[in-house]
Amino acid sequence: MKSFEAVKHYFNRAADKLELTENMRTLLLTPKREVQVQVAIEMDNGELRTLIGYRVQHDNSRGPMKGGLRFHHEVDLDEVRSLASLMTWKTAVVNIPYGGAKGGIAVDVSKLSTRELERITRKFIDEIHDVIGPDTDIPAPDMGTNAEVMAWIMNQHNKYHGFNPGIVTGKPVEHYGIPGREEATGRGVGILTLKTLGRLGHKPKNTRVAIQGFGNVGSHAAKFLQEADCSVVAISDISGGYYSKEGLDILDALKYANANNRSLEGYSAAKHISNEQLLELDVELLIPAALGGVITSENAPRIKASLIVEAANAPIRPDADDLLTDRGVIILPDILANAGGVTVSYFEWAQNRQFYHWGLDRVRQELEHILSAAFEEVWALSREHDVSLRTAAFMLGISRVGRATVLGGIT
Ligand code: NAD
Tens digits of residue pLDDT in 299-343? 999 999 999 999 999 999 999 999 999 999 999 999 999 999 999
**Percent share of the chain, pLDDT over 70:** 100
Residues 64-74 have pLDDT tens digits of: 999 999 999 99
User: Distance from the CA of 114 to the center of ligand 1, in angstroms?
Assistant: 19
> Ligand 1 pocket test: which of 70, 71, 237 has the largest number of ligand atoms within 8 Å of its C-beta?
237
Can you give the C-alpha Rg of the chain in angstroms?
20
Which residue owns the Cα nearest ligand 1 atom 14?
A: 238
User: Distance from the CA of 288 to the center of ligand 1, in angstroms?
Assistant: 9
Measured CA to CA, the distance from residue 217 to residue 220 in angstroms comes to 6
DSSP string, 289-337: -S-SS-B-TTTGGG---SEEE--SSS-B-HHHHHHHHHTT-EEE-HHHH
Does residue 1 surpass a pLDDT of 80? no
Ligand 1 — pocket residues by CB below 6 A? 141-144, 185, 212-218, 236-238, 275, 289-291, 311-313, 338, 341
Residue 105 has a pLDDT of 98
Tell me the β-bridge partners of 53: 37, 105
Q: How confident is the model at residue 128 (pLDDT cuts 50, 70, 90)?
A: very high
Asked if 200 and 309 count as a contact pair (C-beta separation under 8 A), the reply is no
Which residue owns the Cα nearest ligand 1 atom 39?
A: 142
What is the pLDDT of the chain when averaged over all its residues?
97
Residue 66 has a pLDDT of 98
Which residue owns the Cα nearest ligand 1 atom 15?
A: 238
Measured CA to CA, the distance from residue 200 to residue 346 in angstroms comes to 30
Give the ligand 1 atom nearest the CA of 70: 34
Residue 166 has a pLDDT of 98
Please list the active-site residues. 102
Residue 252 has a pLDDT of 98
Which residue owns the Cα nearest ligand 1 atom 43?
A: 338
Residue 2 has a pLDDT of 86
User: Distance from the CA of 217 to the center of ligand 1, in angstroms?
Assistant: 7
Measured CA to CA, the distance from residue 243 to residue 274 in angstroms comes to 10
Residue 411 has a pLDDT of 73
Q: Roughly how many angstroms between the first and final C-alpha of the chain, as a whole number?
A: 33
**Order of strands across the sheet that contains 208-212:** 271-273, 240-243, 231-237, 208-212, 285-288, 307-309, 330-332
Residues 157-212 have pLDDT tens digits of: 999 999 999 999 999 999 999 999 999 999 999 999 999 999 999 999 999 999 99
User: Distance from the CA of 224 to the center of ligand 1, in angstroms?
Assistant: 17
Residue 120 has a pLDDT of 98
Which residue owns the Cα nearest ligand 1 atom 38?
A: 142
User: Distance from the CA of 141 to the center of ligand 1, in angstroms?
Assistant: 10
* Domains of the chain, start order: 31-175 (3.40.50.10860), 184-337 (3.40.50.720)
Residue 410 has a pLDDT of 80
Q: What does the pLDDT average to over 81-108?
A: 98
Residue 357 has a pLDDT of 87
